[in-house]
Amino acid sequence: MNVLIVVSHPRQDSLTFQAVDRFAQGLTDAGHQYEIVDLHRIGFDPILQGMDEPNMEVHHQTFSAQVETEMQRLKRHDAVAFVFPLWWWHLPAMLKGYIDRVLNNGFAYGANQLHLQQVLWLTLAGVSKAQMDKRNYRVAIENLLNVGIADYCGVSNSRVEFLYETGGMEPEHYERLLEQAYRAGLEYAQEPVTEK
């Protein structure tokens, strides 16, 4: 499988990028290929303007050069993994802008849908699982990403993998998080477990 890894974090020395490295190593060890696109490094503009605004009245819309480039990049891959920190219980603005602009009408939904076999949302959360579940944030986030975005774009095989308690960690916890990222890559293309 050829996997596009879309990473959103302003610092390359962050835990997010370390998780990307371990996830990519897992993909490699499982025999997959990957490409990493760092939204900050490529200077992606997250602001939707002008020609990238979805136009439901045209059959085939032409988008800006930057968006067309990212659409072509997605087309070259079988699956995508988004790796990002959870900020304010949501996607970082950079990644939200990527979703708004690239997963556009006529490409990802509407007349066409994404051809991808699978989507993974690998998100780093500063809170614990208990804190995430306290007000059903986890369920809300999973619904937003798996149903509101991936399934709406035609990809039903989508899941969210949370790396919890990313701030002020003990070294052992830090290593467990990176191992979890590695396992997510190693097991990425396996068939999803369906609940009975």
pLDDT digits (tens, 9 = 90+) for 132-169: 999 899 999 999 999 999 999 999 999 999 999 998 67
**CATH superfamily assigned to domain 2-50+62-186:** Flavodoxin domain (3.40.50.360)
What is the model's pTM? 0.94
Q: Determine the Cα angle at 144 with ends 146 and 196, to 5°.
A: 45
Question: What are the sequence ranges of the domains in the chain?
Answer: 2-50+62-186
- For 98-116, what is each residue's pLDDT tens digit? 999 999 999 999 888 999 9
Residue 193: predicted pLDDT: 45
Report the distance separating Cα 153 and Cα 113, nearest Å.
5
Q: Sheet with 33-38: list strands edge to edge.
A: 33-38, 2-7, 79-85, 118-124, 158-163
